[in-house]
Amino acid sequence: MEVLNQPTPHDRRLSQKLTRIGFHSVFVGAFAMLGGALRGFNLLLVLAALMVGALIMQWRWSRRSLERITARRTLPSEFIAGRKTSIRYQIHNLSGWIPAWMLRIEDPIQSDNSSGRDTISTGVPLIEPKSSRVSSLDIRFSNRGRYRLSGVRVMTGFPFSLSTSILSVTQPEEIVVYPELYQLKRNWRKRLTHQGAGSSMHRRRQGQAEGEFYGLRGWKNGDSLRWIHWRTSARIGELAVRQFEHQRRLDICIVLDAWIEADENARNDSNHVESAVSLAATLTNEIVTGSNDQVALVCIAETSAIIPGSRGGDHIARRMLESLADAKASSNPDWESALQQCEGQGVRAKQMVVISSRTHSDFKKAHTAEAKKIEDWSRRGTLQWLDVRTDLSLWKQDPPKSFVERSSSSSSEVSHAE
């Protein structure tokens, strides 16, 4: 174990509370003391003294165990709904001679979308003097959104569990849980760039030599010497060069239409909204991460969010996932304001893909003027409308039926009601 010597943090508070066994012991001790005093029974007085001594020893030992304890939480770089992630708790015992036994670590967590509060917990059996331990807790969030962590609580009831000493370390942090990411089918890129009758695809070439090798052809003026396949040229007696399949760079705008029925009895459609958010998050993450494609994201929900077109990078991917994590469904998404922001921020993608929880015809009925505006994309590029109620199965890969998940560490699941 690593020996550390760190200063005690200032944002800490020690408190003490009796357990249920402690209350019973106090009652029995008081009864024995009163009976021994009134009746003159020395054995009852001895029993009362032993119980009071046990309470004092419990209070002193557990409190001293935590006086030189420091605790710190370490969060991972990202949280994705439906996936397990580990939170690390570093516990340091700065005492020179008192070990800390049977520590319980609790971390209250609250969602911005719920008034309730959950508590995640783990434990450490023993920390020797002048040493430290790291306890990892596997946690899985069921819902996307923002969560708040107020502080870490370290508790111990060692040795008799008559009272519990609680060390509260203030460490407020906010967690942004990204939407669930699907596993897409293999042909998702071809389906994304698929064109219907009468439409054309506008994509930019990356370069003549980029792409996968698929054959040989004769030499032409302007070909690079690096493309020459010398073995074939020597065999046929003339120059032959490698031929590559030209890759094309996408210029796409993904639009999330987070629409939900206004009728309270139809709130079960929120599952379709979550599917639309997850599909939008999956596509933007796949396109942005590790590619030269240019993608813009438009979230049209209770409030609109625009992220102009950009090429690749983890920073852009996280911005888009964070925007989708904050998207709240609305019965009247503000399409007019969103399209105005697109024009103001120069979103001029060649292709628009709208991911919605309603059909294109229902959208046209509710937003006649906005429907005419987005039809302009079909004139200078392409426009696709994906209704997740019917089209999700064309994109999402179903998990294996025989999948079995195993984990040896402690785990916790956090969810909140919409």
CATH classification of the domain holding 109 = 2.60.40.10
Residue 5: inside a domain: no
Which pLDDT score, from 0 to 100, does residue 311 have? 63
Which pLDDT score, from 0 to 100, does residue 194 have? 63
* Rounded CA separation 323/331 (Å): 19
Position 213 pLDDT exceeds 70: no
Domain count, the chain: 4
Which pLDDT score, from 0 to 100, does residue 158 have? 92
Torsion of CA 48, 49, 53, 55, to 10 degrees: 20
Q: What share of the chain is helix, strand, coil (3-state, %, to 5)?
A: 30, 35, 35
Least confident range from 336-340, 383-387, 399-403: namely 399-403
Q: Which amino acid is at 127?
A: I
Using 50, 70 and 90 to split pLDDT, how confident is the model at 341? confident
Using 50, 70 and 90 to split pLDDT, how confident is the model at 2? very low
- ∠ CA 382-285-322, rounded to 5°: 110
Which pLDDT score, from 0 to 100, does residue 377 have? 64
Least confident range from 174-188, 207-221, 307-321, 378-392: namely 207-221
Q: Clarify whether residues 192 and 278 are in a common domain.
A: yes
User: Cβ contacts of residue 277 below 8 Å, gap of 6+?
Assistant: 144, 179, 256, 258, 324, 327
Residue 359: inside a domain: yes
Identify which of 256, 249, 383 has the alpha carbon closest to the alpha carbon of residue 310: 249
Radius of gyration from C-alpha coordinates of the chain = 32
Which secondary structure element, helix H or strand E, spans residue 34, and what is its range?
helix 20-39
Which pLDDT score, from 0 to 100, does residue 405 have? 45
Position 225 pLDDT exceeds 90: no
Which pLDDT score, from 0 to 100, does residue 208 have? 43
Which pLDDT score, from 0 to 100, does residue 414 have? 62
Q: Clarify whether residues 198 and 219 are in a common domain.
A: no
In terms of Cβ atoms closer than 10 Å to its own Cβ (0-12, 13-18, 19+), residue 121 is middle
Q: Clarify whether residues 358 and 277 are in a common domain.
A: yes
Which pLDDT score, from 0 to 100, does residue 112 have? 81
Identify which of 39, 305, 69 has the alpha carbon closest to the alpha carbon of residue 169: 69
Q: Clarify whether residues 364 and 266 are in a common domain.
A: yes
Residue 404: inside a domain: no
Residue 63 in contact with residue 55, Cβ under 8 Å?
Answer: no
**CA 229 from centroid of its chain's CA atoms:** 49
Using 50, 70 and 90 to split pLDDT, how confident is the model at 8? very low
Using 50, 70 and 90 to split pLDDT, how confident is the model at 268? low
Residue 24: inside a domain: yes
pLDDT in tens, 46-56: 988 999 999 99
Q: Clarify whether residues 335 and 198 are in a common domain.
A: yes
* Rounded CA separation 382/409 (Å): 49
Identity of the highest mean pLDDT range in 47-51, 117-121, 178-182, 222-226: 178-182
Q: How many residues does the chain have?
A: 418
Range of the structural domain that residue 133 is part of:
67-178
Torsion of CA 326, 330, 336, 341, to 10 degrees: 0
Position 1 pLDDT exceeds 70: no
Which pLDDT score, from 0 to 100, does residue 202 have? 40
Q: Clarify whether residues 72 and 23 are in a common domain.
A: no
Residue 287 in contact with residue 249, Cβ under 8 Å?
Answer: no
Identify which has the larger pLDDT, 130 or 399: 130
Which pLDDT score, from 0 to 100, does residue 7 have? 40
pLDDT in tens, 388-411: 999 999 999 877 654 444 443 455
Using 50, 70 and 90 to split pLDDT, how confident is the model at 413? low
Q: Clarify whether residues 237 and 140 are in a common domain.
A: no
Write the DSSP symbol of residue 267: G
* Rounded CA separation 77/33 (Å): 58
Position 346 pLDDT exceeds 70: no
Rounded (10°) angle between helices 270-288 and 314-325: 170
Q: Clarify whether residues 154 and 260 are in a common domain.
A: no
* Rounded CA separation 344/261 (Å): 30
Position 293 pLDDT exceeds 90: no
Which pLDDT score, from 0 to 100, does residue 350 have? 74
* Rounded CA separation 384/201 (Å): 12
DSSP structure string for 207-261 = -TT-S-EEEEEE--TT--GGGB-HHHHHHHTS-EEEEEPPPEE-EEEEEEE-B--
Residue 4: inside a domain: no
Using 50, 70 and 90 to split pLDDT, how confident is the model at 382? confident
Residue 237 in contact with residue 243, Cβ under 8 Å?
Answer: no
Residue 81 in contact with residue 103, Cβ under 8 Å?
Answer: no
Position 371 pLDDT exceeds 70: yes
Q: Clarify whether residues 82 and 129 are in a common domain.
A: yes
Position 41 pLDDT exceeds 50: yes
pLDDT in tens, 105-115: 999 999 887 76
Q: Clarify whether residues 254 and 113 are in a common domain.
A: no
Residue 409: inside a domain: no
User: Cβ contacts of residue 14 below 8 Å, gap of 6+?
Assistant: 63, 66, 67, 165, 166, 167, 168
What is the overall mean pLDDT for the chain?
Answer: 82
Q: Clarify whether residues 195 and 336 are in a common domain.
A: yes
Q: Provide the whole-model pTM.
A: 0.77
Which pLDDT score, from 0 to 100, does residue 197 have? 32
Domain boundary pick from 66, 94, 123: 66
Residue 407: inside a domain: no
CATH classification of the domain holding 255 = 3.40.50
* Rounded CA separation 154/390 (Å): 50
Q: Clarify whether residues 263 and 373 are in a common domain.
A: yes
pLDDT in tens, 184-193: 988 888 888 7
Residue 339: inside a domain: yes
Across the range 269-273, mean pLDDT stands at 84
Residue 185 in contact with residue 394, Cβ under 8 Å?
Answer: yes
